[in-house]
């Protein structure tokens, strides 16, 4: 992973965009296709799956094994943290890539960028949740990667391959995308001369991140996300008037064209 990352990001934004343009559609289609296969294999369980998900969200079932208050607290804490990690909404990171897009209107690009949260959360994450509950493996006490692996094992031979392929492509495209986020920040703070050393440090960080313990990786990611989210949310509040004004002007111009 470190070697592949070096080969791509040292080539700059053009190299990153070319690789991601190939990886993202492939990983989305293959992973969602695998989810649909599993759901179709257990189609008769879908109504019960939806019932379990909805009822479990409100009857405290997720809190079994501890204090109800602690269970709800942990559910909210991990829901917010993993939600941010998944779709980046509110972090201010995705606009860095959106700013590099060639578009006639910033609002138009913003509307396109908003679809990313839909596909990531409403489609991919929702399908994952449906598969995990629909497979029935969750009653065996499994969680995390072990639970996902057991669910995809319902597809003979190809199930683990689809899961591993999806995982690798998701991870690799995320590493490439976030390398560009950091690169823009480094260039803004220290100038263009600092970009090349930063890229090598990023490559080294991929190696370090692959060998440290999982709890340490999650803890660092959650802390880093919080450091990004807080100033960005303040900025969104302060710039609210600008956002509303630009959106109204864009919608008015679209209305006049019609």
pLDDT for residue 199: 92
pLDDT for residue 67: 46
What string of H, E and C letters represents the secondary structure of 115-152?
Answer: HHHHHHHHHHHHHHHHHHHHHCHHHHCCCHHHHHHHHH
Distance CA 237, CA 47 (A): 41
DSSP at 43: G
What string of H, E and C letters represents the secondary structure of 190-212?
Answer: HCHHHHHHHHHHHHHHHHHHHHC
Average pLDDT over residues 162-166: 86
Rounded to the nearest integer, the mean pLDDT of the chain is 82
pLDDT over threshold 70, residue 181:
yes
Average pLDDT over residues 157-178: 86
Answer yes or no: pTM beyond 0.85: no
Give first-to-last CA distance, the chain, whole Å.
Answer: 50
Which of these ranges, 50-54, 161-165, 191-195, has the smallest mean pLDDT?
Answer: 50-54
Which of these ranges, 1-5, 68-72, 94-98, 232-236, has the smallest mean pLDDT?
Answer: 68-72
What percent of the chain is modeled with pLDDT above 70?
A: 92
Long-range Cβ contact pairs of 153-157 (< 8 A, separation 24 or more): 154/38, 154/41, 154/42, 155/34, 155/37, 155/38, 155/41
Q: pLDDT digit string (tens) for 2-50?
A: 988 888 888 777 788 788 788 878 888 888 888 898 888 888 888 888 8
pLDDT for residue 205: 92
Q: pLDDT digit string (tens) for 45-64?
A: 888 888 877 777 666 555 44
């Amino acid at each position: 992973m470190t070697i592949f990352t070096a080969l791509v990001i040292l080539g700059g934004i053009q190299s990153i965009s070319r690789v991601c343009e190939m990886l993202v559609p492939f990983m989305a289609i293959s992973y969602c296709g695998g989810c649909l296969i599993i759901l179709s294999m257990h189609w008769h369980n879908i109504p019960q799956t939806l019932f379990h998900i909805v009822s479990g969200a409100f009857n405290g079932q997720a809190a079994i094994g501890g204090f109800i208050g602690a269970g709800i607290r942990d559910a909210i804490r991990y829901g917010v943290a993993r939600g941010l990690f998944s779709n980046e909404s509110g972090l201010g990171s995705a606009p860095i890539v959106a700013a590099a897009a060639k578009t006639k209107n910033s609002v138009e690009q913003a509307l396109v960028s908003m679809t990313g949260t839909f596909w990531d959360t409403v489609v991919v994450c929702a399908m994952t949740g449906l598969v995990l509950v629909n497979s029935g493996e969750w009653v065996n006490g499994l969680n995390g990667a072990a639970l996902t692996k057991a669910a995809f094992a319902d597809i003979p031979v190809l199930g683990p391959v689809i899961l591993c392929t999806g995982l690798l492509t998701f991870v690799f495209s995320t590493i490439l995308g976030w390398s560009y986020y950091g690169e823009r920040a480094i260039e803004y703070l220290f100038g263009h001369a600092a970009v090349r050393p930063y890229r090598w440090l990023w490559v080294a960080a991929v190696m370090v991140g692959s060998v440290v313990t999982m709890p340490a990786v999650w803890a660092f990611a959650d802390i880093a996300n919080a450091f990004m989210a807080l100033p960005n949310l303040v900025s969104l509040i302060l710039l609210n008037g600008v956002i509303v004004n630009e959106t109204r002007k864009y919608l008015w111009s679209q209305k006049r064209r019609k």
